[in-house]
Amino acid sequence: MTRLSAHPRPTLRVVEVDINHGKAVLAGMLLAVWRKETTPEAFQRMDVLVQELSRQYPSGVGILQTIEKTAVPPEADTKREFVRGMVVGEGRIKHFSVVHEASGFHAAIVRAIMSGVYLFARPKFPHMVFSSLADAAAWHVQQQRALGPLPFNEADLVNAVQTLQSFVADYRARDAGDLR
């Protein structure tokens, strides 16, 4: 006999897509994909989304960000905004990760930047850097489960991130100014 879940599967809600990045919401999770440049304004809009989500999910919000191989390291003002967002999100953000599925020098730069941000911001919530989306999804599902009923599983979370990545890739393909 098949048992029906008390909670229907959540719908992925894409909230912002441009040539550089995309953001989406899946239940109490904020997802972000960074493909090219990261800007302070994009992080400021992320802060607004965290505030909105925390009203809808008072037990807390999870954030999963992926950094594509095509992303360039952020400028100093962007790093400051990123740190500010982690500090402002304290109490609302319950778990946070960055995924960079790469190896070599570029991956080392991403890990160094994230280590510096974490060292400076000193967030009290759990935070991780992953080299695998599947590993990040497993960790986030575990963290979300601790907050209450979970309307998605690891596969749903991986699929949601991959869908957002496709939205951002499709946007880039349509952009006449970027022929790469």
Domain ranges of the chain: 13-173
pLDDT at 176: 43
pLDDT at 76: 86
pTM of the model: 0.86
With beta carbons less than 8 A apart as the criterion, state whether 83 and 128 touch: no
Report mean pLDDT in 10-residue bins for the chain, 180 residues.
52 94 96 93 93 94 92 85 84 93 75 70 82 95 90 95 94 55
Q: Locate tokens 């962007």: which residue?
A: 78
pLDDT at 180: 40
CA distance 107 to 119: 18
| Ordered DSSP codes for 76-102 | HHHHHHHHHHHHHTBTTEEEEEEE---
pLDDT at 163: 96
Q: At the fourth CATH level, which superfamily is domain 13-173?
A: STAS domain (3.30.750.24)
pLDDT at 89: 87
Token couple for 163: 């869908």
pLDDT at 22: 96
Cα Rg for the chain, rounded, in angstroms? 16
